[in-house]
């Protein structure tokens, strides 16, 4: 049975270990003002080998297991295995976590992080992808919910422009 999704605690655990990542996906949309519900955490980590080792230790401590795999396939959460993944869907002791190393439409990590917004979520200070970067990622995706996310993000962007003009 999957663990209850506890995003604040999951983010706190990842940041406490010093993992360098940017939150993307539904949580990022929610932080920017979308009303979409989400039931997992999506992150894009720095691909620096030291960071992948740190992330691997955090995932091991969270008892991370491959999601959607019926068989008991061994998974070693270390920097070497994390360096070889594009998308990793995990169940952890604090809920579902998706690790995306190169999301479609995503700029290079340094640019993604530079444009990200620092936000306190519970006890953790995390980097949240910018509206523009989220828009590009969602525009390149093909799922129906991504099309709805594009509409929400465009509305958020219009509102932000109006608010900026009033300042």
Report pLDDT for 158.
93
What share of the chain has pLDDT > 90, as a percent?
82
pTM of the model: 0.94
pLDDT tens per residue, range 50-83? 999 999 999 999 999 999 887 777 788 999 999 9
Using alpha carbons, list the distances in angstroms from residue 111 to 108, 116, 117.
Answer: 6, 8, 12
Indicate the Cα dihedral angle 122, 123, 125, 127, nearest 10°.
-50
Which phi and psi (to 5°) does residue 166 adopt?
-80, -15
Which phi and psi (to 5°) does residue 56 adopt?
-60, -40
Sorted by where each starts, the structural domains of the chain and their CATH numbers stand as: 7-166 (3.30.460)
* Paired strand residues for 120: 125
Report pLDDT for 162.
85
């Amino acid at each position: 049975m999957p663990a209850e999704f506890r995003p604040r605690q999951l983010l706190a655990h990842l940041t406490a270990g010093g993992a360098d990542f940017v939150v993307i996906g539904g949580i990022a949309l929610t932080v920017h003002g979308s009303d979409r519900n989400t039931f997992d955490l999506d992150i894009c980590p720095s691909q620096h080998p030291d960071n992948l080792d740190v992330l691997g230790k955090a995932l091991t401590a969270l008892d991370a297991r491959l999601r959607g795999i019926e068989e008991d396939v061994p998974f070693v959460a270390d920097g070497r295995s994390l360096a070889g993944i594009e998308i990793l869907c995990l169940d952890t002791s604090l809920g579902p976590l998706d690790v995306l190393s190169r999301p479609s439409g995503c700029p290079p990590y340094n640019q993604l992080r530079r444009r990200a917004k620092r936000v306190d979520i519970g006890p953790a200070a995390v980097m949240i992808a910018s509206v523009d970067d989220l828009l590009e990622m969602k525009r390149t995706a093909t799922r129906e919910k991504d099309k709805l996310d594009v509409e929400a993000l465009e509305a958020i962007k219009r509102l932000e422009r109006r608010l900026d003009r009033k300042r």
